[in-house]
A and B are shown apart, each in its own frame.
Chain A
Amino acid sequence: MKDLVSIREISKENIESILSTAASFKAVLKRDIKKVPALRGKTVVNLFFEPSTRTKTSFELAEKRLSTDVLNFSVPTSSVVKGETLLDTVRTIESYGVDCIVIRHSSSGVPHFIAKNSHASVVNAGDGTNEHPTQALLDAFSILERKDTLDGLRIAIIGDVHHSRVAKSNIYLFSNYKSEIRLIGPPALIPEFKGYNVSYFNSIEEGIEGADVVMMLRIQSERMTKGFFPSTLEYANLWGLNRQRLKLAKKDAIVMHPGPLNRGVEITSDVADSGQSIILEQVTNGLAVRMAVMYLLGRDNEQ
């Protein structure tokens, strides 16, 4: 594996190797000394063309815990505003001898383009409305920890699937397993996934019934260029997760959310802070999973 740009392009074997390696890194993160020399001497650049706090923080900490040297390149302070092309930016960065490029971009496909044009490993940290592979991997890791399996589960994904790269990467990831994926939300925000085994619901009550996993998505107002639903209040009334609706899922169902939360919109505070919520575990697991991804790529892409 040289790059991680899309869940669709990696095998089930790759997925499982990432998940089992992540378990070892999670154990490292529980020690007093949370840093290992695994990628000592390697250089990683975080190339974020889109605002991000949590994903960037998570990647940066993962890189530091692997003993890499970290370069942060964020757009408002970079030469991109001076008119440099993407390829020139990448070539310039590559000339520093960078081993891995972590990229987030508002346009889908940019990580693919860079992966094709660079010797460095490329990790997609979210591209437009396309994919967010490390988020899907950390979701799978979190589910596996709680449910001991990724097969035979009923997984309800609720909200703005259309704009959600998280939802898409999860759908692609779970196509490797025998779990049932249910997509729930306003019709305008639920695209069709041809060739994937998913079912579609407009009513949250119907869709959530008997679910083992309830995965909430963030309403992405920044990507809404037209009216997909009347108002946030109406959205909360029709598709928000509250205590009553959660009761329709299995008793031991877990609630997930990729963050940041819009409390009172897609999820009520009492559910987000309840014992069934594993939202903060997802954050911790994200660190372990990203360490695993970068460790495995760094190991395989030695020149």
Chain B
Amino acid sequence: MRKELLSKKDIDRAVSRIAHEIIEKNRGLENICLVGIQSGGVHLAKRIASKIKEVEGIDLNIGSLDISFYRDDVGIRKQQPVVRSSDITCEVSGMRIILVDDVLFTGRSIRAAMDAIMDFGRPAVIQLVVLIDRGHRELPIRADYVGKNIPTALDENVEVCLAEDCAEEGVYITGSQTEGK
């Protein structure tokens, strides 16, 4: 069964609120680089940046980060994702890096992303944006900006479909074995 958790409108609102929170928390928006984690986070980072541009008229640096080479589940995960490119155009040292991902789950991807960022330089601060926090953390990691907290079962799957890749935009939950109870 596939259930809609967020509609396209809900995603828009969440992105818009997160953009405002970023502006509020990082007054002046100086030395900020939004870094999307491949692949879902990249689209979200771009959307947040354009929202911030609308509100404040400031063009933020945007980067993308592939974390394949930093993962700790090589060989454990059955289906390995395609290796995509990392494109960090700003100087990382001294910058305020805002990582953007679609779903926060165990926290292991974020650990990998932080290690990857550290290899580019020594950022002043790293903050984290996620559209969905589904719980079940295995590492002491939390997000600074959350679109929506969604309690899930471990065997469920949260699917973020963005218009850039999917026909129908929305956040869906699938695959619970206890469904229909």
Contacts A24-B66, A24-B86, A32-B121 aside, 8 further interface pairs with beta carbons under 8 A come to: A17-B82, A21-B83, A24-B84, A28-B86, A31-B120, A299-B74, A299-B75, A302-B76
* Closest chain B CB from A4 CB (angstroms): 17
| B59-70 vs A, Cβ < 8 Å mask (1 yes, 0 no) | 000000010111
Q: Which of B70, B85, B121 contacts A27 (CB 8 A)?
A: B85
Asked whether A20 is an interface residue with its Cβ less than 8 Å from the other chain, the reply is yes
Contacts of A39 in B (CB 8 A): 74
Q: Which of B75, B76, B85, B121 contacts A23 (CB 8 A)?
A: B85
* Closest chain A CB from B84 CB (angstroms): 7
Are A38 and B68 in contact (CB-based, < 8 A)?
yes
Q: Which residues of B contact A (CB under 8 A)?
A: 66, 68-70, 74-76, 80, 82-87, 115, 119-121
Q: Which of A20, A21, A31, A37 contacts B70 (CB 8 A)?
A: A37
Contacts of B115 in A (CB 8 A): 37
Contacts of B119 in A (CB 8 A): 31, 33, 36
Q: Evaluate whether A20 and B83 lie within 8 angstroms (CB atoms) in the complex, with A36-B119, A37-B115 already known.
A: yes
Q: Which residues of A contact B (CB under 8 A)?
A: 17, 20-21, 23-24, 27-28, 31-33, 36-39, 295, 298-300, 302
Contacts of A37 in B (CB 8 A): 69-70, 115
Contacts of B121 in A (CB 8 A): 32
A298–B80 alpha-carbon span in the complex (Å): 12
Closest to B75 in A: A302
Q: Which of B74, B85, B86, B120 contacts A38 (CB 8 A)?
A: B74
Are A28 and B69 in contact (CB-based, < 8 A)?
yes
A20–B119 alpha-carbon span in the complex (Å): 21
* Closest chain A CB from B151 CB (angstroms): 32
* Closest chain B CB from A178 CB (angstroms): 24
A298–B74 alpha-carbon span in the complex (Å): 9
Contacts of A302 in B (CB 8 A): 74-76
A132–B80 alpha-carbon span in the complex (Å): 27
Q: Which of B74, B76, B85, B120 contacts A24 (CB 8 A)?
A: B85
Closest to B115 in A: A37
Contacts of B87 in A (CB 8 A): 27
Q: Give the top 5 A-B pairs by smallest Cβ distance, nearest first.
A: A302-B75, A36-B69, A38-B69, A33-B119, A21-B83
Contacts of A21 in B (CB 8 A): 83
Contacts of A295 in B (CB 8 A): 69, 83
Contacts of A298 in B (CB 8 A): 74
Q: Evaluate whether A299 and B80 lie within 8 angstroms (CB atoms) in the complex, with A31-B120, A36-B119 already known.
A: yes
A31–B120 alpha-carbon span in the complex (Å): 7
Contacts of A20 in B (CB 8 A): 82-83
Closest to A298 in B: B74
